[in-house]
Amino acid sequence: MHDIRLSDARLDPSVCLAALDQATHNAGGIASFLGKVRANDRADDGVEALELSHYEPLTLPGMEDLGARASARFSLMGLVMVHRIGMLYPGDPIVLVAAAARHRRDAIAAVDFCMDHLKSAAWFWKREKRADGWHWIEPRASDHEDLARW
């Protein structure tokens, strides 16, 4: 089972995980990562909203290609990769990656692999709204270092 898609509506991780669980009842385990809009404790630099934009001809095909590479590299029985687009608020889920496998290491490593690639190479542009207006998010050097692990 491969469930790889973009979503402009609120992401419900429990629904996606339940579907993966149902579809892979022979699996030995499921690993998952849920990325969320960070809620900042300090009011002065708090993020009020996050807008995720994408480019239709590249973004989803890029995620599908990533899913295919994860499946080729790890022994998986199912993979879920759902990414939000549009306007998000602190606490909202942004991305869910979940992998089902016979053995836990494949599942855990596949999720880690997909997240490192999504964070550094997926076709998304983010801007944050703070008290003083909108700011585009620049790529971080650490995201590219994470990619070098693979």
Partner 1 sequence: MAVTVLFLGPLRDMAGCQSVDLAAPLDWDGLLAQVDAAVAEQLKSERVNVACAGKVLGDKRTLQARDGDEVALLPPVSGG
- Judged by beta carbon, residue 132 or residue 138, the one nearer partner 1 is 138
Neighbour-count burial of 142, counting CB atoms closer than 10 A to its CB (0-12 exposed, 13-18 middle, 19+ buried): exposed
Q: Nearer Cβ to partner 1, position 18 or 137?
A: 137
Query: Nearest 10 degrees: CA dihedral of 77, 119, 123, 137?
Result: 160
> What's the closest the beta carbon of residue 47 comes to partner 1, in angstroms?
13
Minimum Å gap between C-beta 116 and partner 1 is 10
Dihedral angle of Cα 74, 81, 51, 8, to the nearest 10 degrees: 170
Residue written as token pair 């207006």 = 133
Q: Which residues bind partner 1 (CB under 8 A)?
A: 35, 53, 55, 57-58, 83, 94-95, 115, 118-127, 136-140, 143
Shortest distance (Å) from residue 30 CB to partner 1:
20
